[in-house]
Amino acid sequence: MCGIFAYTGGRTDAASLVLDGLRRLEYRGYDSWGVAVRSDGRVLVEKQVGKIGDARVSMPSSTVAFGHTRWATHGGVTDKNAHPHTDCSGRLAVIHNGIVENHSELRREAISRGHVFRSETDTEVIAHLLEDELAGRNGDPRALTDSVRSVFSRLVGMNALMVLDSRSDALVAVKQGSPLVVGYGEAGQYIASDASALLPHTRTVTFLADGQMVVASPDGVSVWDAASGKRVEQEVMELDWCPEQSELGEYPHYLIKEICEQPRIVRSAALAQAASAERLGRMVRESFGAFFIGCGTAANAALTGQYLFSRIARHHVNFEVGSEFGYLEHFLTPESLVIALSQSGETIDVIEPLSRIKRERGIQVAALVNVLGSTLYRLADYNVLLGAGPEKCVLATKSYTAKLAILVLTAYAMDGRLKEGQDLLLRAADCIEELLTRERRRQIEELADVIHERDHMFLIGRGLSYPSSLEAALKIKEVSYIHAEGFAGGELKHGVIALVERGTPCVVFAPSDETKGAILSGAMELRARGGFIVGVSPEPSDAFDFHVPVGDCGDASPIVNAVPAQLLAYELALRRGTDPDKPRNLAKSVTVK
């Protein structure tokens, strides 16, 4: 949450370069944004509320700048609360991602020493504390870094912060929890909260570890241990993503672009993930109790995994959402395996319990993660990279089907039927391709025309399709703001059916499996109460008012069933005038609790 982008080097258009970097990070937060530059020995700040859009900065030429795009935590969405924040003297500017949990106490302390606060944020306290630390240290070359280390040691919580000092051409950043990546480009050095934002400039990066501080100047980069003040060797890696993957190309929105990338991603999982699936399958088999954890869409993939492993590999894997896992970890033993699913690899509700159980109890962790070098990637004992490429839309789509593809393959590999799993994925990729043809997309558009003015929707599935109904509901509600709820088909009669009125859209997932009879009965019961039944199924049925045909893909049906729901969510967003890539109140990569 919140995006940080910084540059220092030979270019003199640092402010616009940073603004462009922020645009690439805007999916991390888009309540407000701001940029600071160092020019003629002064720090100048420009900031405003709203998305960046086509905004330009009118700042003097400079070779060092940083910027921030905000997802508000402390203090409303106002110009004043937008980052960067400055100290009383205007010497320093600070940007920050995370939450300073002890900010009230630190603020009181700073006020008692005469500091004047201009915002309601927790961040501003950092600027004032730094101002005090720097006082009287003129001419001391280590003053800035020592001050940053000292202030950082006083902050409670998961925080990444960066400081721009009017008296230095170095940027100093430090992190605990929230991500920071350093990029080494031809024109200079970059620091960002996400590696994908660096792609136009470089693929050579260092992911900062927790507790590390980086000093970036036009001459180079050095990394330090913030606690001891000792220099550490920076681990340099090459990203395997290319810049074009982050561009919109011919598409109007990232959401539809990323939906359309899915056949290729599922196909490539079938062919490239065989060895990973075999290894992960062995780890599950050898563990004494395995758990899937994830949040949001990743949780829906994890729940699907529980069904897949049960029916394909006849193996029970527990499932829990990341934010609740910490309250259920009592079952873990040293032989347990926790498999975390996460696109970003930065979700705090996954990272926090995992770090704790690893640190305190030495539990083994495996990850299905999309971002190389992310916190989860570095924390896990074994990683399967999703291979979905950068996912820029706030809605998770291709990372979801990539996770499902790996789970299908792993369950088949565990049962000694890897080839069968691969063939199934290739079939699923063909079925998705079919759903993306012009004619089939037109059908979803027609459905959106019919239902886009409704306020409520219900989605049901049984067995493997139950998590599909949860995921479809999540996609629809987060981008169209229609209240959509997914349920296990059998649960309807236990209360929810009271909410169905004449014309209420009810999406029914009815694959050709053991759930079909019961789910169609459920559909009939909804229809008898006036529900408008949308059947997502290989076969038509009398229970459906609107049939969305999907290929019969057996155990891979959740992969295929995800796509009509994603397309419907997109079409509903267009008709309701919402932003398909940046829905209100949300941010990709949830790094605060």
Nearest Cα neighbor of 592 from 257, 97, 37 is: 97
The interaxial angle of helices 398-414 and 262-272, nearest 10 deg, is 30
2 is catalytic: yes
The contact set with ligand F6R (CB under 6 A) reads 295-298, 342-344, 347, 350, 395-396, 474, 478, 589-590
The one catalytic residue among 403, 475, 477, 588: 588
What lies within 8 Å, CB to CB, of 490 at 6+ separation is 462, 518, 522
**DSSP letter (8 states) at residue 327:** T
CB of 50 to ligand F6R, least distance (A): 22
The interaxial angle of helices 418-435 and 274-286, nearest 10 deg, is 120
CB of 473 to ligand F6R, least distance (A): 11
With contact defined as beta carbons under 8 Å apart, do 592 and 348 qualify? Answer: yes
Q: Which is nearer to ligand F6R, 269 or 298 (CB)?
A: 298
Q: Which is nearer to ligand F6R, 159 or 347 (CB)?
A: 347
Q: Which is nearer to ligand F6R, 126 or 565 (CB)?
A: 565
**DSSP letter (8 states) at residue 209:** P
CB of 388 to ligand F6R, least distance (A): 11
CB of 350 to ligand F6R, least distance (A): 6
Q: Which is nearer to ligand F6R, 65 or 470 (CB)?
A: 470
Q: Which is nearer to ligand F6R, 18 or 569 (CB)?
A: 569
d(CA 429, CA 411): 18
With contact defined as beta carbons under 8 Å apart, do 368 and 277 qualify? Answer: no
588 is catalytic: yes
d(CA 408, CA 578): 34
The interaxial angle of helices 438-451 and 557-576, nearest 10 deg, is 60
d(CA 453, CA 456): 9
> For residue 56, with 0-12 CB atoms within 10 Å meaning exposed, 13-18 middle and 19 or more buried, which class applies?
exposed
With contact defined as beta carbons under 8 Å apart, do 129 and 151 qualify? Answer: yes
Residue 223 in tokens: 């990394």
**Cβ neighbours, 10 Å, residue 587:** 23
Q: Which is nearer to ligand F6R, 223 or 365 (CB)?
A: 365
Q: Which residue has the tokens 């699936």?
A: 277
CB of 583 to ligand F6R, least distance (A): 9
The one catalytic residue among 2, 260, 295, 393: 2
Chain residue whose CB lies nearest ligand F6R: 296
**DSSP per residue, 425-481:** HHHHHHHHHHHTSHHHHHHHHHHHHHHTT-SEEEEEE-TTHHHHHHHHHHHHHHHH-
CB of 512 to ligand F6R, least distance (A): 28
CB of 345 to ligand F6R, least distance (A): 7
CB of 26 to ligand F6R, least distance (A): 15
Residue 273 in tokens: 């993930």
Q: Which is nearer to ligand F6R, 418 or 507 (CB)?
A: 507
Residue 62 in tokens: 């400079």
Q: Which is nearer to ligand F6R, 259 or 500 (CB)?
A: 259
d(CA 160, CA 174): 6
Which residues are annotated as catalytic?
2, 588
